[in-house]
Amino acid sequence: MDYIPLLFGTIEVAVIFLFGCVGEIFYEKSGHLNLGIPGIVCVGGAGGVFGTFLMMNLNPDMPGFVVLLVAMLMSVVFSCALGGIYSFLTITFRCNQNVTGLALSIFGNGFTSFVLNQFILPRENASTLLSIAGQKIFCASLPFAKDLGFFGQVFLNHGFLVYFGLVVAILSSILLFRTKIGLNLRAVGEDPATADAVGIPVIKYKYIFNFLGAAIAGFAGTAYIMNYMNGIIGASVSADLEAFGWLSVALVIFTLWRPHLSILGSLIFGFLYIAPSYASVLFPGVTFTFYGKELLNLIPYVVTIVVLIITSIVGKKNVQAPAALGKPYFREDR
């Protein structure tokens, strides 16, 4: 039985969840519940597309790393711009985070669809250039990967963004749990008043890590469009981006606000998410009724709930959200 496409696909999809999840973890660790991650994932994707198109349009033979760099840069610009609105409204203006986030998601989806379908894709050659960039640059993998058997084809055959995502997750975990900055950030998220009293610049930390979260989450969009979909862009892609964004927000809780666990969590969820398409591989010889096969779609959500229940029963205090999550910090209150 050929499990390679299933496992390969798992990693490709998991990385999209991973970016969104790690991005939201930074938001939540700084005390901000950002329900606008779906919108940020969308515009980040739009930015990645924009950057890629910009470079490819200038010169279709542009060196790969230049295209990659500019695409990621534009992804950061777009996602930080939208994230900036959220941060400004919720940090400086102390507006309610949930409403701001929801508005962000609504806006981000529409804006991305607008940008892609009105400004980028209609341009001459745009979709072809993006498709070429996607396959040749973003999905460019180690040349010998395919020949290295099972391991090579499953693990070494991915594009740059996949490994970048893995590195980002690991570095984020180190930053959060092994550095002083991370400790300060966690303090800000748990009890900003005390953090302020100890001299941590609360507002500065919030802003910086909000933007970091936005940038990382934006890569989820770029990873979906340019890596997973190989730069082949359909008109309704913003709907898919938003859907992935919502699942990423859920995964934050699933993986207990720990980026290293997010790697595992995204892999498990990603596997279960695409498994129904591989029913013939996982259940060889079995044919389902059409409605029976539909029930396979339940599995990722049921498993998430089961894991959630288990971790809350078995876990200790450290499975909870940051204590000051969702509350605006007003210095004069203390």
Partner 1 sequence: MNTKTETKKAHNPFVRIVKRERLPFRVRIWFYVIAIFFGLLVTSTLVILSSSKDKNYMDFFAAMFSGAFGSERRFWIFVQDFSLLLGVSIALLPVFKMRFWNLGGNGQILIGAMVATIVMFYWGGKMPDPVLWILMFILASNAAAVWAVIPAIFRVFFKTNESLFTLMLNYIAMVLVKFLISFWYPTGSGAMKTIEVGGLPSLGEGKMGIALMCFTVVTIITVAVIIHLVYSKRGYEIAVIGESEKTAKYIGINVKWRTILTAFMSGAICGVVGVLLSGLINHTVSTTMDANMGFTGIMVDWLSRFDPSAIAPVAFLITLLNKGIGQVNTEFGFASQATNSVITGLIYFFVISVTFYTRYKVRFRSDIEEKMKKVTTPITNFFKRIFSRKKKEEVK
Partner 2 sequence: MKKGLKSLAVLAVSVLSLAGCGGETGLTNTGSAKTKVKVGLITLHDSNSTYDKNFIDAMTSVCEKKGVELIVKSGIAEETVCYDTAADLADQGCNLVFADSFGHEEHMIKAAREFPDVQFAHATGTQSKQVNLKNFHNAFASIYEGRYLAGVTAGLKIVELKKAGKLEAKNFDDDGNVKIGYVGAYTYAEVISGYTSYYLGVKSIIDETEDIPGVVMDVTFTGSWYDETKEKESANNLISRGAAVISQHADSMGAPSACETAGVPNVSYNGSTASRCPNTFLVSSKINWAPYYEYLIDSVANGTEIDTEYSGTIDTDSVQLTELGTACAAGTAEKIAEVKAKLKAGTLHVFDTSKFTVTKAEGKNTGATVDANGHLTAYLADIDGDFAGETNVIENGVFEESKLPEYRSAPYFDVQIDGINLLDVNFGD
Q: Rounded to whole angstroms, how far apart are CA atoms 203 and 205? A: 5
Pick one of partner 1, partner 2, none as the site partner of residue 9 (Cβ within 5 to 8 A by kind).
partner 2
> 9-13: which pairs have CB atoms within 8 A and are 24 or more residues apart?
9/270, 9/274, 10/267, 10/270, 10/271, 10/274, 11/154, 11/155, 11/158, 11/162, 11/267, 11/270, 12/158, 12/162, 12/227, 12/228, 12/270, 13/228, 13/270, 13/273, 13/274
Q: Which of residues 191-250 bind partner 2 (CB under 8 A)?
A: 228-230, 232-237, 239-240
Q: How many CB atoms lie within 10 A of CB 283?
A: 13
d(CA 238, CA 290): 28
Question: How near is the Cβ of 30 to partner 1 at its closest, in Å?
Answer: 18
Rounded to whole angstroms, the Cα distance separating 278 from 3 reads 9
Site string for partner 2, 78-117 (x = CB under 8 A): -----------------------------------x---x
Please say which residue, 60 or 201, places its beta carbon nearer to partner 1.
201
293 vs 327 by CB, closer to partner 2: 293
Candidates 138-146, 166-174, 215-223, 305-313 — which segment interacts with partner 1 by CB under 8 A?
305-313
Q: Is 280 in the site for partner 2 (CB under 8 A)?
A: yes
* Rg for the chain, CA atoms, rounded: 20
Give the one residue of 59, 94, 198, 264 binding partner 1; rule: CB under 8 A.
Answer: 94
Give the count of residues interacting with partner 2 (CB under 8 A).
43
Residues 223-252 that bind partner 1 (CB under 8 A): 238, 246, 249-250
CA dihedral defined by 163, 167, 172, 173, rounded to 10 degrees? Answer: 110
Question: Which tokens hold the place of 138?
Answer: 């973003």
Instruction: Determine which residue in the list 7, 81, 183, 308 makes contact with partner 1, applying CB under 8 A.
Output: 308
Least distance from partner 1 to the Cβ atom of residue 131, Å: 22
Check if the beta carbon of residue 325 is closer than 8 Å to that of residue 31. yes
Give the chain's length.
334
| CB nearer to partner 2: pick between 86 and 271 | 271
| Residue 302 contacts which entry, partner 1, partner 2, none (Cβ below 5-8 A, type-dependent) | partner 1
Binding site for partner 2 (CB under 8 A): 2, 4-6, 9, 13, 113, 117, 125, 127-128, 130-131, 135, 139, 228-230, 232-237, 239-240, 273-274, 276-281, 283, 286-290, 293-294, 297
